[in-house]
Amino acid sequence: MKVRIETVGADEEEEIVVRTRRADARMLRQLELIAQEGKPLLGYHADGSMSPLDLQGIYYFESVENRVFAYGVRDVTELKCRLYELEERFAGTDLIRISKSMILSLGKVERFVPVLGGRIEALLANGERVVISRQYVPDVKRRLGLYAERKM
């Protein structure tokens, strides 16, 4: 496979052209993520208004009763998407799944504290504490460089 990148002028539209014999699910998922990258993530407020979210201000995303919320510095905003969609959209960033119902911004963690049952508690910069489920602890440790990547 070869990759070719062409720079276009300011008056030309950017585009991605993929030439392939077979478009598999993985390729289509990656292309969808690239296409979403330029779109803002909208938060819906209690008064019915909406605004683009600044990801730098988000501490975590949480799913509660089939609704997803973004917890920021000063406010909580509802999103119109699923937690797994956020996980896919922000793969490769400092956002990481820490339980079935939460995605955490590692950049907002001040310290980690081991707790009973193999879980870890994360103390956030805003003073909140969230628990990293035992199932997700190995992923968090890998992201922090505490585990070597397994070779298969």
Separation between Cα atoms, residue 137 and residue 5, nearest integer Å? 39
Separation between Cα atoms, residue 14 and residue 108, nearest integer Å? 34
Place of tokens 């600044």: 54
The model's confidence at residue 33, banded by pLDDT at 50, 70 and 90, is low
Average of per-residue pLDDT values in the chain: 87
DSSP summary character for residue 41: P
CATH 2.40.110.10 fits domain 42-143 = no
pLDDT at 9 over 60: yes
Query: pLDDT (tens digit, 9 = 90+) per residue, 46-59?
Result: 898 999 988 889 99
pLDDT at 7 over 80: yes
Per-residue pLDDT, 46: 87
The answer to whether 76 and 114 have CB atoms below 8 angstroms apart is no
The model's confidence at residue 38, banded by pLDDT at 50, 70 and 90, is low
- pTM for this predicted structure: 0.73
Separation between Cα atoms, residue 65 and residue 95, nearest integer Å? 21
CA distances from 80 to 10, 50, 85 (A): 33, 11, 10
End-to-end, the C-alpha distance of the chain in Å comes to 24
Determine the 3-state secondary structure of 114 from DSSP: strand
**Single-letter amino acid, residue 86:** L
DSSP summary character for residue 51: E
The model's confidence at residue 36, banded by pLDDT at 50, 70 and 90, is low
**Single-letter amino acid, residue 117:** G
The model's confidence at residue 151, banded by pLDDT at 50, 70 and 90, is low
The answer to whether 103 and 96 have CB atoms below 8 angstroms apart is yes
